[in-house]
Amino acid sequence: MKALLQRVRHAAVEVDGERIARIGGGLLVLLGVEQGDTDEQARWLAAKTLDLRIFADNHKPMNASVLDVGGSVLAVSQFTLAADTRKGNRPGFSTAAPPEQALPLFDAYVEALRSRCEAVQTGRFGADMQVTLQNDGPVTIMLER
């Protein structure tokens, strides 16, 4: 399982021209679920997402978590994070979990986020989404478990 975290000033998701989610400052998380991933991994990644100290406080530029700064989280399922690009020029997705396995793990990740953070929104699993964001920093970090 991979979570690509982007520190943002704001982010939003649209589906079919309709805005379905929007956050102010916080984290945009693109979550890729691979075959063999587990609920335990989803919970670990959620905890790491919320506890990672990548926001500024009065002492250091990267000393506070999204929870510490009262930020929001926008989680978006992104199967393309499982892309295999070792051969040729067309990515392969054989390691990506099929939707019937990926959706429950995405939901487990989101539930674990929401158990500690009230300000969590999501994209729409499996939809063609347009994601807009204003990166802050930029700070972009890949978490894998």
Please state the length of the chain: 145
CA distance readout (Å), 14 to 55, 75, 76, 129: 26, 13, 11, 6
Tokens of 84: 């295999």
Residue with tokens 């250091």: 60
Q: Which of 6, 79, 106, 122 is catalytic?
A: 79
Give the pLDDT confidence of 90-110 residue by residue, as tens digits: 999 999 999 999 999 999 999
How many C-beta atoms surround the C-beta of residue 10 within 10 A?
A: 16
Single pTM value for the model: 0.96
Q: Where are the domains of the chain?
A: 2-134
Based on the residue annotation, tell me whether 78 is a catalytic residue of this protein: yes
Based on the residue annotation, tell me whether 80 is a catalytic residue of this protein: yes
Give the pLDDT confidence of 36-74 residue by residue, as tens digits: 999 999 999 999 999 999 999 999 999 999 999 999 999
At 104, the amino acid letter reads P
State the chain's mean pLDDT as an integer.
97
Give, in words, the CATH class of 2-134: alpha beta
Based on the residue annotation, tell me whether 79 is a catalytic residue of this protein: yes
